[in-house]
Protein backbone atom coordinates (compact mmCIF):
# COMPACT_ATOMS: atom_id res chain seq x y z
CA UNK A 1 0.00 0.00 0.00
CA UNK A 2 2.80 2.39 0.90
CA UNK A 3 4.13 2.14 -2.65
CA UNK A 4 0.98 3.82 -3.90
CA UNK A 5 1.47 7.50 -4.61
CA UNK A 6 0.69 9.92 -1.78
CA UNK A 7 -1.23 12.14 -4.19
CA UNK A 8 -2.58 11.28 -7.62
CA UNK A 9 -4.13 14.03 -9.71
CA UNK A 10 -5.54 13.16 -13.14
CA UNK A 11 -6.94 15.72 -15.55
CA UNK A 12 -7.90 18.17 -12.80
CA UNK A 13 -9.99 21.12 -13.93
CA UNK A 14 -11.11 23.85 -11.53
CA UNK A 15 -12.99 26.94 -12.63
CA UNK A 16 -14.05 30.02 -10.71
CA UNK A 17 -16.87 31.53 -12.77
CA UNK A 18 -15.39 32.09 -16.21
CA UNK A 19 -11.79 31.81 -14.93
CA UNK A 20 -10.14 28.42 -15.42
CA UNK A 21 -7.63 28.24 -12.58
CA UNK A 22 -6.57 24.62 -13.21
CA UNK A 23 -6.84 23.27 -16.72
CA UNK A 24 -6.30 19.50 -16.99
CA UNK A 25 -3.50 19.10 -14.50
CA UNK A 26 -1.80 15.72 -13.96
CA UNK A 27 0.55 15.11 -11.06
CA UNK A 28 1.67 12.03 -9.16
CA UNK A 29 3.40 12.70 -5.85
CA UNK A 30 5.56 9.87 -4.47
CA UNK A 31 5.54 9.00 -0.77
CA UNK A 32 8.26 9.93 1.71
CA UNK A 33 9.73 12.58 -0.56
CA UNK A 34 9.55 16.34 -0.94
CA UNK A 35 7.73 17.58 -4.03
CA UNK A 36 7.99 21.29 -4.85
CA UNK A 37 5.32 22.87 -7.02
CA UNK A 38 6.69 25.91 -8.85
CA UNK A 39 4.96 28.29 -11.20
CA UNK A 40 4.36 31.95 -11.97
CA UNK A 41 1.75 33.96 -10.06
CA UNK A 42 -1.72 32.77 -10.94
CA UNK A 43 -0.50 29.46 -12.42
CA UNK A 44 -2.95 27.43 -10.34
CA UNK A 45 -0.66 26.07 -7.61
CA UNK A 46 -2.73 27.13 -4.61
CA UNK A 47 -5.97 26.02 -6.25
CA UNK A 48 -4.45 22.60 -6.94
CA UNK A 49 -3.13 22.23 -3.40
CA UNK A 50 -6.42 23.44 -1.91
CA UNK A 51 -8.29 20.90 -4.03
CA UNK A 52 -6.06 18.18 -2.57
CA UNK A 53 -6.90 19.53 0.88
CA UNK A 54 -10.62 19.18 0.16
CA UNK A 55 -11.40 22.90 -0.05
CA UNK A 56 -12.59 22.74 -3.67
CA UNK A 57 -14.49 20.12 -5.61
CA UNK A 58 -12.93 19.40 -9.02
CA UNK A 59 -15.01 20.47 -12.04
CA UNK A 60 -13.41 17.59 -13.92
CA UNK A 61 -10.73 14.98 -13.31
CA UNK A 62 -9.88 13.07 -10.17
CA UNK A 63 -7.81 13.76 -7.07
CA UNK A 64 -6.75 11.02 -4.66
CA UNK A 65 -4.88 11.78 -1.46
CA UNK A 66 -3.46 8.74 0.37
CA UNK A 67 -5.81 6.80 -1.88
CA UNK A 68 -8.90 8.71 -0.67
CA UNK A 69 -11.20 11.41 -2.02
CA UNK A 70 -10.31 14.70 -0.27
CA UNK A 71 -13.96 15.85 -0.10
CA UNK A 72 -15.89 12.60 0.50
CA UNK A 73 -13.24 11.16 2.83
CA UNK A 74 -12.33 14.41 4.59
CA UNK A 75 -12.91 12.98 8.07
CA UNK A 76 -10.63 10.02 7.43
CA UNK A 77 -7.91 12.23 5.98
CA UNK A 78 -7.94 14.94 8.67
CA UNK A 79 -5.73 13.08 11.20
CA UNK A 80 -3.33 11.95 8.47
CA UNK A 81 -2.75 15.18 6.56
CA UNK A 82 -1.21 18.46 7.76
CA UNK A 83 -2.11 21.68 6.03
CA UNK A 84 -0.37 25.05 6.07
CA UNK A 85 -2.48 27.56 4.23
CA UNK A 86 -1.08 30.64 2.51
CA UNK A 87 -3.05 32.88 4.84
CA UNK A 88 -3.87 31.96 8.41
CA UNK A 89 -7.17 30.15 8.70
CA UNK A 90 -6.75 30.81 12.41
CA UNK A 91 -9.03 32.50 15.00
CA UNK A 92 -7.31 35.85 15.41
CA UNK A 93 -7.87 36.31 19.18
CA UNK A 94 -6.39 32.97 20.22
CA UNK A 95 -2.92 32.85 21.77
CA UNK A 96 -0.18 31.18 19.76
CA UNK A 97 0.87 28.41 22.11
CA UNK A 98 -2.70 27.71 23.31
CA UNK A 99 -3.74 27.16 19.73
CA UNK A 100 -0.88 24.83 19.11
CA UNK A 101 -1.62 22.87 22.29
CA UNK A 102 -5.26 22.63 21.30
CA UNK A 103 -4.28 21.39 17.87
CA UNK A 104 -1.89 18.84 19.41
CA UNK A 105 -4.66 17.55 21.69
CA UNK A 106 -6.68 16.51 18.64
CA UNK A 107 -4.05 13.94 17.64
CA UNK A 108 -3.14 10.56 19.09
CA UNK A 109 0.62 11.02 19.07
CA UNK A 110 1.51 14.68 18.64
CA UNK A 111 4.97 16.22 18.63
CA UNK A 112 6.20 17.88 21.80
CA UNK A 113 4.66 21.36 21.65
CA UNK A 114 7.33 23.04 23.79
CA UNK A 115 10.10 21.69 21.61
CA UNK A 116 8.32 22.73 18.42
CA UNK A 117 7.71 26.25 19.78
CA UNK A 118 11.39 26.55 20.66
CA UNK A 119 12.75 25.33 17.37
CA UNK A 120 10.52 27.58 15.33
CA UNK A 121 11.54 30.54 17.48
CA UNK A 122 8.02 31.09 18.83
CA UNK A 123 9.03 30.91 22.50
CA UNK A 124 8.85 34.65 23.08
CA UNK A 125 5.39 35.04 21.58
CA UNK A 126 3.58 32.00 22.96
CA UNK A 127 1.11 34.19 24.88
CA UNK A 128 0.57 36.67 22.07
CA UNK A 129 -2.83 36.66 20.33
CA UNK A 130 -2.57 35.49 16.74
CA UNK A 131 -3.53 38.84 15.23
CA UNK A 132 -0.65 40.56 17.05
CA UNK A 133 2.00 38.17 15.77
CA UNK A 134 4.25 39.46 13.01
CA UNK A 135 3.69 38.04 9.54
CA UNK A 136 6.69 35.75 9.92
CA UNK A 137 5.55 34.56 13.35
CA UNK A 138 2.07 33.79 11.99
CA UNK A 139 3.71 31.87 9.21
CA UNK A 140 5.82 29.81 11.61
CA UNK A 141 2.82 29.12 13.82
CA UNK A 142 0.85 27.88 10.79
CA UNK A 143 3.75 25.58 9.95
CA UNK A 144 3.84 24.28 13.53
CA UNK A 145 0.10 23.64 13.39
CA UNK A 146 0.48 21.73 10.13
CA UNK A 147 3.09 19.35 11.54
CA UNK A 148 2.22 19.01 15.24
CA UNK A 149 -0.03 15.99 14.66
CA UNK A 150 2.77 13.98 12.98
CA UNK A 151 0.89 13.75 9.68
CA UNK A 152 1.83 11.26 6.95
CA UNK A 153 1.50 14.01 4.38
CA UNK A 154 1.85 17.79 4.69
CA UNK A 155 0.88 20.50 2.26
CA UNK A 156 2.87 23.70 2.74
CA UNK A 157 1.73 26.64 0.64
CA UNK A 158 4.69 29.04 0.31
CA UNK A 159 6.03 28.09 3.74
CA UNK A 160 8.92 30.56 3.72
CA UNK A 161 7.32 33.54 1.97
CA UNK A 162 8.34 36.65 3.87
CA UNK A 163 10.49 34.84 6.46
CA UNK A 164 13.84 36.16 7.62
CA UNK A 165 16.90 34.03 6.77
CA UNK A 166 17.03 32.36 10.21
CA UNK A 167 13.37 31.37 10.13
CA UNK A 168 13.79 30.19 6.56
CA UNK A 169 16.66 27.91 7.57
CA UNK A 170 14.67 26.61 10.57
CA UNK A 171 11.79 25.81 8.20
CA UNK A 172 14.12 24.01 5.79
CA UNK A 173 15.55 21.97 8.67
CA UNK A 174 12.06 20.98 9.76
CA UNK A 175 11.13 19.94 6.22
CA UNK A 176 14.31 17.84 5.98
CA UNK A 177 13.48 16.13 9.26
CA UNK A 178 9.92 15.42 8.14
CA UNK A 179 11.31 13.79 5.04
CA UNK A 180 13.84 11.78 7.05
CA UNK A 181 10.92 10.55 9.18
CA UNK A 182 9.18 9.29 6.03
CA UNK A 183 6.63 12.12 5.80
CA UNK A 184 5.51 13.17 2.32
CA UNK A 185 5.84 16.92 1.82
CA UNK A 186 4.20 18.91 -0.96
CA UNK A 187 5.22 22.55 -0.96
CA UNK A 188 4.67 25.47 -3.26
CA UNK A 189 7.37 28.06 -3.54
CA UNK A 190 8.66 30.95 -5.60
CA UNK A 191 12.19 30.39 -4.27
CA UNK A 192 14.18 28.32 -6.71
CA UNK A 193 16.96 27.83 -4.17
CA UNK A 194 14.37 26.38 -1.81
CA UNK A 195 13.28 23.87 -4.43
CA UNK A 196 16.91 23.03 -5.22
CA UNK A 197 17.73 22.59 -1.54
CA UNK A 198 14.69 20.59 -0.47
CA UNK A 199 12.92 18.93 -3.34
CA UNK A 200 13.31 15.38 -4.58
CA UNK A 201 10.81 16.18 -7.30
CA UNK A 202 9.82 19.46 -8.90
CA UNK A 203 6.62 20.09 -10.84
CA UNK A 204 6.45 23.30 -12.85
CA UNK A 205 2.88 24.54 -13.27
CA UNK A 206 1.90 27.12 -15.84
CA UNK A 207 -1.58 28.18 -16.96
CA UNK A 208 -3.18 25.42 -14.92
CA UNK A 209 -1.08 22.51 -16.21
CA UNK A 210 2.11 20.73 -15.21
CA UNK A 211 4.55 21.62 -17.98
CA UNK A 212 7.66 19.92 -16.55
CA UNK A 213 8.25 17.36 -13.86
CA UNK A 214 11.38 15.63 -12.55
CA UNK A 215 14.19 15.88 -10.04
CA UNK A 216 15.97 19.25 -9.96
CA UNK A 217 18.97 17.53 -11.61
CA UNK A 218 16.84 16.07 -14.40
CA UNK A 219 15.21 19.42 -15.09
CA UNK A 220 18.53 21.26 -15.11
CA UNK A 221 20.11 18.65 -17.36
CA UNK A 222 17.22 18.20 -19.75
CA UNK A 223 15.42 21.51 -19.98
CA UNK A 224 18.13 23.93 -20.86
CA UNK A 225 21.31 24.13 -22.86
CA UNK A 226 24.55 24.25 -20.97
CA UNK A 227 27.65 26.26 -21.62
CA UNK A 228 31.32 25.36 -21.79
CA UNK A 229 33.85 28.17 -21.61
CA UNK A 230 37.56 28.11 -22.22
CA UNK A 231 40.32 30.60 -22.80
CA UNK A 232 43.29 30.12 -25.07
CA UNK A 233 45.05 31.57 -28.10
CA UNK A 234 42.91 34.21 -29.89
CA UNK A 235 41.53 33.51 -33.35
CA UNK A 236 40.91 29.75 -33.15
CA UNK A 237 38.99 28.30 -36.10
CA UNK A 238 35.61 27.75 -34.44
CA UNK A 239 33.99 26.51 -37.66
CA UNK A 240 36.47 23.63 -37.59
CA UNK A 241 35.73 22.99 -33.90
CA UNK A 242 31.98 22.90 -34.61
CA UNK A 243 32.51 20.20 -37.26
CA UNK A 244 33.77 17.94 -34.49
CA UNK A 245 30.75 18.66 -32.28
CA UNK A 246 27.10 17.52 -32.49
CA UNK A 247 24.69 19.41 -34.76
CA UNK A 248 23.04 22.34 -33.02
CA UNK A 249 26.13 23.25 -30.98
CA UNK A 250 27.14 26.91 -31.19
CA UNK A 251 30.50 28.49 -30.52
CA UNK A 252 31.67 32.08 -30.24
CA UNK A 253 34.81 34.02 -29.37
CA UNK A 254 33.37 36.57 -26.95
CA UNK A 255 36.62 38.49 -26.47
CA UNK A 256 40.05 37.73 -27.91
CA UNK A 257 40.89 34.24 -26.65
CA UNK A 258 37.66 33.82 -24.60
CA UNK A 259 35.49 31.09 -26.10
CA UNK A 260 31.97 29.93 -25.35
CA UNK A 261 30.43 26.69 -26.60
CA UNK A 262 26.70 26.27 -26.10
CA UNK A 263 24.61 23.14 -26.54
CA UNK A 264 24.13 19.74 -25.02
CA UNK A 265 27.30 19.80 -22.96
CA UNK A 266 28.01 16.24 -21.83
CA UNK A 267 31.24 14.42 -20.91
CA UNK A 268 31.75 13.42 -24.55
CA UNK A 269 31.56 17.03 -25.72
CA UNK A 270 34.05 18.07 -23.05
CA UNK A 271 36.43 15.35 -24.24
CA UNK A 272 35.99 16.42 -27.88
CA UNK A 273 36.77 20.07 -27.12
CA UNK A 274 39.79 19.11 -25.00
CA UNK A 275 41.16 16.81 -27.68
CA UNK A 276 40.50 19.38 -30.44
CA UNK A 277 42.50 21.91 -28.39
CA UNK A 278 45.28 19.36 -27.99
CA UNK A 279 45.37 18.72 -31.76
CA UNK A 280 45.74 22.47 -32.33
CA UNK A 281 48.42 22.96 -29.70
CA UNK A 282 46.13 24.95 -27.45
CA UNK A 283 46.49 24.58 -23.70
CA UNK A 284 43.40 26.35 -22.27
CA UNK A 285 44.18 28.64 -19.35
CA UNK A 286 40.77 27.82 -18.02
CA UNK A 287 37.99 25.49 -19.00
CA UNK A 288 34.68 25.32 -17.19
CA UNK A 289 31.20 23.92 -17.61
CA UNK A 290 28.32 26.08 -16.41
CA UNK A 291 25.30 24.15 -15.32
CA UNK A 292 21.97 25.86 -15.63
CA UNK A 293 20.20 26.61 -12.42
CA UNK A 294 16.59 25.74 -11.72
CA UNK A 295 15.83 29.43 -12.14
CA UNK A 296 17.26 29.40 -15.69
CA UNK A 297 15.13 26.37 -16.50
CA UNK A 298 12.07 27.90 -14.89
CA UNK A 299 12.39 31.11 -16.89
CA UNK A 300 13.03 29.16 -20.06
CA UNK A 301 9.87 27.12 -19.50
CA UNK A 302 7.54 29.85 -18.32
CA UNK A 303 8.91 32.87 -20.19
CA UNK A 304 10.58 35.98 -18.87
CA UNK A 305 7.68 38.41 -19.22
CA UNK A 306 5.57 39.42 -16.26
CA UNK A 307 2.06 37.97 -16.36
CA UNK A 308 -1.01 40.13 -16.06
N1 LIG B 1 -11.73 31.92 -5.31
C2 LIG B 1 -11.38 32.38 -6.50
N3 LIG B 1 -12.22 33.08 -7.27
C4 LIG B 1 -11.88 33.53 -8.49
N5 LIG B 1 -10.69 33.33 -9.07
C6 LIG B 1 -9.78 32.64 -8.35
C7 LIG B 1 -10.07 32.14 -7.05
N8 LIG B 1 -8.98 31.49 -6.60
C9 LIG B 1 -8.04 31.60 -7.57
N10 LIG B 1 -8.52 32.28 -8.62
C11 LIG B 1 -7.81 32.57 -9.88
O12 LIG B 1 -7.29 31.35 -10.37
C13 LIG B 1 -5.98 31.54 -10.89
C14 LIG B 1 -5.01 30.62 -10.18
O15 LIG B 1 -4.85 31.09 -8.86
P16 LIG B 1 -3.92 30.35 -7.80
O17 LIG B 1 -4.06 31.10 -6.51
O18 LIG B 1 -4.23 28.91 -7.78
O19 LIG B 1 -2.48 30.59 -8.43
P20 LIG B 1 -1.03 30.40 -7.79
O21 LIG B 1 -0.24 29.64 -8.78
O22 LIG B 1 -1.15 29.81 -6.43
O23 LIG B 1 -0.51 31.89 -7.71
P24 LIG B 1 0.50 32.65 -6.68
O25 LIG B 1 1.86 32.18 -7.04
O26 LIG B 1 0.31 34.07 -7.04
O27 LIG B 1 0.07 32.30 -5.29
C28 LIG B 1 -5.67 33.01 -10.72
O29 LIG B 1 -5.96 33.66 -11.93
C30 LIG B 1 -6.61 33.48 -9.63
O31 LIG B 1 -6.95 34.82 -9.80
Structural domain contains residue 278: yes
Give the H or E element holding residue 50. helix 45-52
Burial of 24 (0-12, 13-18, 19+ CB in 10 A): middle
- Expressed in angstroms and rounded, the spacing between residue 139 Cα and the centre of ligand 1 is 20
- Expressed in angstroms and rounded, the spacing between residue 144 Cα and the centre of ligand 1 is 25
Ligand 1 atom 2, closest CA: 16
Give yes or no: residues 217 and 240 share one domain: no
Give yes or no: residues 211 and 238 share one domain: no
Give yes or no: residues 205 and 56 share one domain: yes
CA dist 13 to 18, 29, 297, Å?
12, 18, 26
- Expressed in angstroms and rounded, the spacing between residue 188 Cα and the centre of ligand 1 is 13
Ligand 1 lining (C-beta closer than 6 Å): 16, 19, 21, 39, 41-47
Q: Are 61 and 32 in contact (CB under 8 A)?
A: no
Helix (H, G, I), strand (E, B) or coil at 209: strand
Q: Are 167 and 140 in contact (CB under 8 A)?
A: yes
DSSP one-letter string for 14-42: EEETTEEEEEEEEEEE-TTSEEEEE--TT
What order of strands is seen across the sheet that includes strand 19-29? 19-29, 7-16, 60-65
State which of 177, 196, 221 marks the end of a domain.
221
Give yes or no: residues 103 and 236 share one domain: no
Which of 47, 189, 205 to mutate for ligand 1's pocket (most ligand atoms within 8 Å of CB)? 47
- Residue 150, φ and ψ in degrees, nearest 5: 50, 60
Report the chain's terminal Cα–Cα distance, integer Å.
43
Structural domain contains residue 303: no
Ligand 1 atom 6, closest CA: 16
The CATH number of residue 138's host domain is: 3.40.50.300
Which of 27, 44, 53, 192 to mutate for ligand 1's pocket (most ligand atoms within 8 Å of CB)? 44
Give yes or no: residues 215 and 240 share one domain: no
Give the H or E element holding residue 283. none
Give yes or no: residues 266 and 155 share one domain: no
- Expressed in angstroms and rounded, the spacing between residue 240 Cα and the centre of ligand 1 is 52
| Predicted structure pTM score | 0.83
Structural domain contains residue 308: no
Helix (H, G, I), strand (E, B) or coil at 215: coil
Predicted local confidence at residue 50, as pLDDT: 95
Structural domain contains residue 120: yes
Which of 12, 15, 16 to mutate for ligand 1's pocket (most ligand atoms within 8 Å of CB)? 16
Give yes or no: residues 105 and 206 share one domain: yes
| Percent of the chain scoring above 90 in pLDDT | 68
Give yes or no: residues 109 and 68 share one domain: yes
- Expressed in angstroms and rounded, the spacing between residue 244 Cα and the centre of ligand 1 is 49
When divided into structural domains, the chain yields a total of 2
Give yes or no: residues 215 and 236 share one domain: no
What is the position in ligand 1's atom list of the atom closest to the CA of 22? 14
Predicted local confidence at residue 2, as pLDDT: 64
- Expressed in angstroms and rounded, the spacing between residue 21 Cα and the centre of ligand 1 is 6
State which of 171, 189, 221 marks the end of a domain.
221
CA distance 280 to 30: 50
Domain that holds residue 124: 7-221
Structural domain contains residue 159: yes
Give yes or no: residues 239 and 98 share one domain: no
What is the position in ligand 1's atom list of the atom closest to the CA of 46? 22
Give yes or no: residues 139 and 236 share one domain: no
Q: Are 110 and 149 in contact (CB under 8 A)?
A: yes
Which of 9, 12, 19, 159 to mutate for ligand 1's pocket (most ligand atoms within 8 Å of CB)? 19
Give the H or E element holding residue 255. strand 250-255
Ligand 1 atom 12, closest CA: 21
CA distance 263 to 248: 7
Give yes or no: residues 143 and 283 share one domain: no
CA dist 277 to 233, 237, 242, 273, Å?
10, 11, 12, 6
Structural domain contains residue 307: no
Ligand 1 atom 25, closest CA: 41
The CATH number of residue 247's host domain is: 3.30.70.1560
Q: Are 10 and 26 in contact (CB under 8 A)?
A: yes
- Residue 50, φ and ψ in degrees, nearest 5: -65, -30
- Expressed in angstroms and rounded, the spacing between residue 87 Cα and the centre of ligand 1 is 13
Residues with pLDDT less than 70, the chain: 1-2, 86-91, 222-224, 304-308
Predicted local confidence at residue 306, as pLDDT: 62
How many helices (H) and strands (E) are present in the chain, helices listed first? 11, 13
State which of 205, 221, 237 marks the end of a domain.
221
Amino acid sequence: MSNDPAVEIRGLVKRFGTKTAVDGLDLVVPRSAVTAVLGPNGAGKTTTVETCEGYHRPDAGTVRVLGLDPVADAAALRPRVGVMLQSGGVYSGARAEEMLRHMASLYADPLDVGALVERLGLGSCGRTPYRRLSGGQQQRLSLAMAVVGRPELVFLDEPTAGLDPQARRATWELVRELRADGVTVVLTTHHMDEAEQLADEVAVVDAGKVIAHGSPEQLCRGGAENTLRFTGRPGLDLAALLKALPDGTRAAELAPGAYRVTGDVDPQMLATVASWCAQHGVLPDSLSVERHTLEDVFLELTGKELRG
